[in-house]
Amino acid sequence: MNPSQQPKIFVAGHRGMVGSAIVRTLQASCGADCSLPWSTEVDPTKTTIITRSHSELDLCNQAAVQAFFAAEKPTQVYLAAAKVGGIHANNTYPADFIYQNLMMQGNVIHAAFQHGVQKLLFLGSSCIYPRLAEQPMREDALLTGPLEPTNEPYAIAKIAGIKLCESYNRQYGVSHGIDYRSV
């Protein structure tokens, strides 16, 4: 981010449990630092938090996501948006879960890169870890065993999002000044 440019933070999934908590936290901290934790210091009184409902922006629509990034020019992104559901929904609509989550993640992460977003935080899920992972779960348990079958399509999509962030960092990180992280 250009030092003179004030942050415009896009919170994708702002109506969900995690996304709404991110928005509340950012709003509450605007007196101190409204930007992502690893950002350079800026004037937080000029920070803009951008949100869009699904009806305003379908994250599965690549053209719409590209147009949004071109128009809004966010400098930082929190990617908390996801298609989620319970056991019944996961068993009934596995193709919807993997497809929609892959599309949302791919569209947002790629558009962020194409439009110069340097800081992106992708939210994963505990379901990405093996079904029988030791408790408490450790990050290095990722991809060490079979996933819970009922939410495997969702989990695989989330793992793909994590790997997409890692891949953008590996290919473009230092040379393009980007830092795409997942938690």
**Residues with catalytic function:** 154
Contact 109, 98 (CB under 8 A): no
- Rounded CA-CA distance 18/12 in Å is 10
DSSP H or E stretch at residue 164: helix 152-176
Contact 76, 36 (CB under 8 A): yes
Contact 48, 8 (CB under 8 A): yes
- Rounded CA-CA distance 30/46 in Å is 9
Question: At 39, is the secondary structure helix, strand, or coil?
Answer: coil
